[in-house]
Structure 1
Amino acid sequence: MMLLDLSDLRRLIHIGSDGFSYEPLHWMWQAASLLGIGYFIWGIGIAVYRVTLHPLARIPGPRVATMSYWYEIYYEVVLEGQYFKRIKNMHSEYGPIVRINPDEVHFDDPDFIGNVYPTSGRKTNKPHWVGQRSGTPNSIVATMDHVKHRLRRRSINDFFSAARIGKFEPIFKKNVQRILQRWNKVGGSNGEVLNMHTVFQAYASDNITTYAFGDCFNFLDDEHWGAEYFSSQEKYFKLTHIFGSFPIIMRLVNNMPTWLLGMFIHNLSSMSEKQGWRIKKVREIRNSPDPNAIESTIFEGIIASNLPDEEKTDVRMAHDAQLIVLAGESTTGHSLCAILFELLSHPDDYRVAKNEIISALSDDDFVPSYAKIQSLPYFNAVIQEGLRLHPGVLSRMTRISPEKTMMYTDKRRGRTYTLPAGTQASMTTLITHTNPAIFDDPHEFHPQRWIDNPKLNRALIAFSRGSRNCVGQEFAHREMAMILAAILRHYDIYSGQNGPTLELYDTIRERDIVANSEMIIPMPAKGSYGLRVRFRV
């Protein structure tokens, strides 16, 4: 090693009356200071531009939200998914159109749904952060470009057609029967208390995973209904706002080995293992010599399509499968829990729906077929009301019109606003579904409203709308209807009688059912045990 001589040392160190000062460090400090001052001035300039000269400057909203994304990050990351509540308060203060961050405008006007979510005739993009938040940036749902999305979506549309899903009904019936058989074993005078969120997630998981891969984890046979995995999945969802705000963390988590991930983030290993299982299954299906192995899975359309080879990689198809499975598990599980809670909390509604189900079935219908229940007015009104109050997806649904300008008129204030092409426009299910101008007593469970006024359907966006609506809508509705109908058919609400009954156990609506935070899916309050029900036979 070469040592510095005295002349080198003198060049590095300046000796003055005030002592020693290290000139290289001095200049580094000056450069850092100038850089910091420049960044501060740039930030101030951007903030001023956003509230004065920006194309959205006239859109009402809190100034601090329009100046910087850090306002949203504070509510989403620091306060853990609370921005949807703040946005609702913004609408109360500013009206039906609000600018919620520098580049996004949010609406609370059901009459404007078709403009934000057009069915055809206009290209509709998505912002990049949708894929970052979900952890699946290469999935169909997260596809930013309209044309690419249409190509990807077209490759799986047939797989989610009503006719194709109808062929899967024997699996739905089999899984419902497995649940009923397990419940029939929990009897006794005091019965057994079950966490229904886990049970319903297990049901939804075995359904959608079998549909997508031809195989599943058989959570319905697991002693704890797959509780470890669903706890891990919930942990993953709780990272969504961190992923969206700081994408590098999303990439680190998704690419970290399972054993290492478990060291840094407790209880995320099970989720990571299932992701690995999905990629492995994609490879097995692609390389299988049995053509039925492909034809019976979601990958049939993708592999056989005219999509370029880069659209058919194992990782990209696994992203599609992962998002479809995650969405199918958690969203359906939440909505089923909420609907069952509302029914058990409203005995009159339970009785009306039960009588309608029984009158439509024969004695041989142990598990009701979808054909016999899909047109029952009150039963389907129960499901619609449950989806209105407790949608499975709570995050705001953001769209971009890349070519056409949108105009919005606030009728109450008589003002018209222009949204230039490229503006991010969004709505939130729960905010739209609880608009008091559309729904009387918006927070009350009242299924009859859908029978009295069928036009309310125009304001229901539980599965989104337009060309980018939820591809699994038919699948989710069928599996929810079949298990709810089976529960109503076989169980009464407990009031001291003998026979198969259900009873709410230490479940509080505001704590355990109502959405307290938004992590793409709704999350209950901290300390919640979820919906718990005591079964007696």
Structure 2
Amino acid sequence: MTLLYELWYDMVLGGTYTKEIRKMHETYGPVVRISPDELHCNDAAFVDEIYAAAGRKRNKQAHNPHVLAGPTTNSAFGTIVHDQHRVRRYFPWVRGLVHVAPFLAKYMTGDIGILMKEMYINTPNRIRQAREDHVAGRSEKTVDRLSGEGFSLTGAGTETTAWTLSVITFYVLSQPAIQARLAEELKDTDPESLSWTTLEKLPHLSAVISEGLRLSYGVSSRTSRVPRDEHLVYTGEVKGRGAVEYVIPKGTAIGMSAAIMHHNEEVFPNSDAFILERWLDEKGLKRPNILAYCELYMTTAALALRVFPHMKLHGTMVEDVKYDHDLITAQAKKGSKGVQVVMC
């Protein structure tokens, strides 16, 4: 009936609504209502219906991109096409405070200072210089919009990848058998000339990356989509009720959360464990349809060849790489120092 329920978990309890949604699924089944006009699904078979391609139109729900602020609101990541959908925001004035950041950026220090200077000073300056170098009539590519696109790409290519590599580092170092298998597979690889096309064919390296991606989630919070021109029909099973069929009217937001889907026990049994065999066939070869990620392949191989043999975990537990709450991306428990190692 109200967004106050979500507000309690995400604002007061700190990004924990995803955990509550997971409990809802355990009680009520694969499709639940999580706000006045938003549904959530926990069924891998329905992924292609919600996040459809091939001309089937899906808009972003306004509610989710409006957690963004600054130039990123004008980026592709923050763009909302469905202008008839009701725009809702947790506290708008809190979001608005970020707009004073450009005036404070040059005075900030530490990591947040680096972030603000990159977002509000360095990226816009690069774009202004580029536009000055290529003045050729009118252009819709404004400084503010291109700043947002640049910052979105920077964030997507650093935060998520860094967290995935942290998760991989922990699990490889904490399970010597996996590290040994990885080292054996890479023993004939020249660390000076790593080739993605060669690395992506290695089954154990591929399995390590796939499990690392599964347990790091990318964007862990839900990403809703709004079917514009068609009703969606969900068919599935609800424990204790048998087969069900739901018609989801067009214009209704429905989404999934990686932090929930990646722990669907029907798809990933013993889902909290780092198990390479999920991604290997009975012959130990890579299963088909595994996505390839060049940056992760190259970096993980380099770590396995050059760094992991000289590393030992230090004061790091599984809780330091385990999902605890959402801040768009997955966050470990509060107070965690991340993955710490000693070099030997």
- Same topology, TM > 0.5: yes
Instruction: Tell me whether 1:342 sits opposite 2:174 in the alignment.
Output: no
1:285-434 mapped onto 2 (5 Å cutoff): 285-288=130-133, 309-310=139-140, 312-359=141-188, 361-362=189-190, 365-412=191-238, 413-434=242-263
Residue aligned with 1:383, SS: helix
TM-aligned CA deviation for residue 416 of structure 1: 1.3
Letter of the structure 1 residue corresponding to residue 316 of structure 2? T
Q: 1:135-161 CA deviation, whole Å, 9 max, x = no partner? A: 2221112221279xxxxxxxxxxxxxx
Q: Which amino acid aligns with 2:68?
A: S
Residue 37 of structure 2 corresponds to 103
- Name the CA distance, whole Å, in 2 between partners of 1:247 and 1:318: 22
- Quick one: distance in 1 between partners of 2:325 and 2:127? 34
469, 478, 484: which is aligned to 2:294?
A: 478
Matched, 1:144 2:90: no
**In 2, Cα distance between equivalents of 1:373 and 1:455:** 12
**Residues 488 and 86 from structure 1, CA distance in 2 versus in 1: closer, same or farther, beyond 3 angstroms?**
same
Residues 140 and 320, structure 1, Cα contact 8 Å, conserved in 2: yes
Partners of 1:355 and 1:517 in 2: how far apart? 36
1:467-500 deviations in Å (ceiling 9; x for gaps): xxxxxx86xx21121111012112454xxxxxxx
Out of 479, 500, 509, which is 2:318 matched to? Answer: 509
Q: CA deviation at 1:134?
A: 2.7
* CA contact 1:401–1:422 (8 Å) conserved in 2: yes
Which residue pairs with 1:271 in the alignment? Answer: 115
* 3-state SS of paired residue (2:49): helix
The Cα offsets for residues 248-301 of structure 1, whole Å up to 9 and x where unpaired, read as: 3323312444338969x9974432221121111111112126x9xxxxxxxxxx
Which amino acid in 1 is paired with 2:317?
I
In the TM superposition, 1:204-215 aligns within 5 A as: none
Q: Percent identity?
A: 31
Q: What is the aligned partner in structure 1 of residue 22 from structure 2?
A: 88
Write the deviation string for residues 337-371 of structure 1: whole angstroms up to 9, x where unpaired.
Answer: 00111101111111111111123x24xx4252222
Give the aligned partner of residue 13 of structure 2.
79
Going from structure 1 to structure 2, the CA distance change for 1:260 and 1:320 (only over 3 Å counts) comes to closer
CA distance in 1, matches of 2:112, 2:306: 37
Q: 1:377 to 1:110 in 2, by over 3 A?
A: same
* 1:171-226 deviations in Å (ceiling 9; x for gaps): xxxxxxxxxxxxxxxxxxxxxxxxxxxxxxxxxxxxxxxxxxxxxxxxxxxxxxxx
4+ runs deviating over 3 angstroms: 255-258, 260-263, 265-270, 453-458
Aligned residues of 2:219 and 2:258 also touching (Cα < 8 A): yes
- Greater shift, 76-85 or 274-283, is seen at 274-283
Residues 1:402 and 1:505: Cα distance change in structure 2 (over 3 Å)? same
Question: 2:192, 2:206 → 1: CA distance?
Answer: 20
SS in 1 for 2:254: strand
Change (3 A) 1:354 1:255: same
Superposition CA RMSD, Å = 2.8
Aligned to 2:336: 528
Given that residues 261 and 268 in structure 1 are in contact (C-alpha distance below 8 angstroms), is that contact kept between their aligned partners in structure 2? no
Is contact 2:231–2:250 with CA below 8 Å preserved after alignment?
Answer: yes
When residues 376 and 144 of structure 1 are mapped into structure 2, their CA distance, relative to the original with a 3 A threshold, is same
Counterpart-to-counterpart distance in 1, 2:262 and 2:102: 41
The alignment covers a number of residue pairs equal to 332
User: Is the Cα contact below 8 Å between 2:173 and 2:308 reproduced in 1?
Assistant: no
Q: Structure 2: how far apart are the matches of 1:139 and 1:81?
A: 23
Counterparts in 2 of 1:492 and 1:419: CA distance versus 1, 3 Å: closer
Describe the SS at the equivalent of 1:137: helix
Distance change (3 Å), C-alpha of 1:348 and 1:369: same
Matched, 1:490 2:280: no
| Contact 1:96 1:108 (8 Å CA) reproduced | yes
Q: Is the 8 A contact 2:105 2:117 kept in 1?
A: no
Q: Distance in 2 between matches of 1:416 and 1:526?
A: 40
Q: Is residue 196–residue 298 contact of structure 2 (8 Å, CA) maintained in 1?
A: yes
1:259 is aligned to 2:68: no
**Ranges in structure 1 where 5+ consecutive residues have no aligned partner:** 1-66, 148-242, 292-302, 461-472, 494-500
- Contact preservation (8 Å) 1:381, 1:450: yes
What 5-or-longer segments of structure 2 have no aligned partner?
Answer: none
